[in-house]
Amino acid sequence: MLSYRHAYHAGNHADVLKHFVLTECVEYYTRKDKPFVYLDTHAGAGFYSLQGDSAQKTQEYVDGIERLWSADDLPEALQPYVDLVREANRGKNQLKYYPGSPWFAMQGLRRNDKARLYELHSSDYPRLVENFKQDRRVTVENSDGFKGLNAQLPVVQKRAIVLIDPSYEIKADYDVVVKALKEGYKRMPGATFLLWYPVVERGRMNAVEKALKESDIRDVLLAELAVEPDTGARGMTASGMILINPPWTLKTTLQETLPWLAERLSQSDGANYRLEQLVAE
Ligand SMILES: C[S@@+](CC[C@H](N)C(=O)[O-])C[C@H]1O[C@@H](n2cnc3c(N)ncnc32)[C@H](O)[C@@H]1O
């Protein structure tokens, strides 16, 4: 049974990094006048109230998006992402809502682009359906996103962005994501894959990185944001994105923004970031 609910974590430091990177990739794909498909294997509910019980219980957004919302020295590259969050709050001054990955992606998609969203949770799936029921570009599936990926790739449009964002509540997910990336890449080597990961136990992510370096996959970029140093204690200290075929502009954008993000989202002296080309083009 799935117990993870993203509503408790919406807008936290990990969402900031993930959704910033996602909006950059979507924007890049729209520069070319050819349709593309957005596949979100673990979509969540799509839109969250920060005033609801779940978000209020953890208040994770306070050390995440709220620190950017009120920043008067926001780097220019982060402005489009924060503007989208303002749009989700209908331009109001108070931060009350935070969108999920499908919502961020859909703001960039054009009339002929398509999205397919997967969500297994019995409570979040109907919310996801409700949030996108008016949008004919979107298909929502109540099924396993990993299986969906295999069924969808390669897409006929020949251009795709794939977001893989599991909760890692099942430890096997660390192996499953590597398998999914290898299989997805084999099916569609030109797609852009975005894998989100938490650093809870560093050893698990070291193994993922090693497996990807030893695979046939080319052009792999890693961007990680640590709000605290690694620890043996429970809890997520950092999170990151592993990208296959990232936009060529993204590395520079991240070089310009990650130091600011690490400083601004820091929760202790050990805040830091990593930006590494894991595998060359
Ligand atoms: C981290 S959350 C997704 C957050 C969302 N991508 C965002 O950024 O707003 C992970 C979601 O995946 C769902 N889930 C877990 N295993 C799944 C699977 N095999 N296929 C589809 N959804 C799954 C969970 O119910 C949860 O809502």
pLDDT score recorded for residue 176: 97
In a domain, 31, yes or no: yes
pLDDT in tens, 245-271: 999 999 999 999 999 999 999 998 878
Strand order of the β-sheet with 114-118 is 138-141, 114-118, 37-40, 160-164, 192-199, 238-244, 220-226, 272-279
Whether residue 244 is contained in a domain is answered as no
Catalytic residues: 165
Q: What is the CATH number of the domain that holds 61?
A: 3.40.50.150
Q: Check residue 92 and give its pLDDT.
A: 81
Run of H or E residues at 23:
helix 13-29
Q: Which atom of ligand 1 is nearest to the CA of 99?
A: 9
The per-residue pLDDT for 231 is 78
Rounded to 5 degrees, φ, ψ at 136 are -75, -10
Domain assignment present for residue 245? The answer is no
Whether residue 123 is contained in a domain is answered as yes
pLDDT number for residue 230: 83
Indicate the helix (H) or strand (E) that contains 274. strand 272-279
Non-local (6+) Cβ contacts of 97 within 8 A are 47, 48, 49, 50, 88, 89
Ligand 1 atom closest to Cα of 119? 22
Among 45, 52, 47, 50, residue whose Cα is nearest residue 99: 47
Q: How many CB atoms sit inside 10 A of residue 14's CB?
A: 24
Cα of 162 vs centre of ligand 1, distance in Å, is 13
- Domain of residue 169 covers 6-216
Q: Which residues of the chain have pLDDT under 50?
A: none
Rounded distance from Cα 165 to ligand 1 centre (Å):
6
Which residue's CA is minimally distant from atom 12 of ligand 1?
42
C-alpha distances (whole Å) from 195 to each of 79, 176, 180, 279 are: 23, 12, 10, 15
Q: How many CB atoms lie within 10 A of CB 256?
A: 13
CA of 166 to the centre of ligand 1 (A): 5
Asked whether residue 148 is assigned to any structural domain, the reply reads: yes
Q: For 86, how many CA atoms within 13 A lie in the half-sphere containing its CB?
A: 12
Question: How many structural domains is the chain composed of?
Answer: 1
Ligand 1 pocket by Cβ (under 6 Å)? 2, 4, 6, 18, 41-44, 100-101, 118-121, 124, 144-146, 165-167
Tell me, yes or no, whether 231 lies in a domain: no
Is 238 within a domain? no
Give the H/E segment covering residue 16: helix 13-29
| Structural domain contains residue 122 | yes
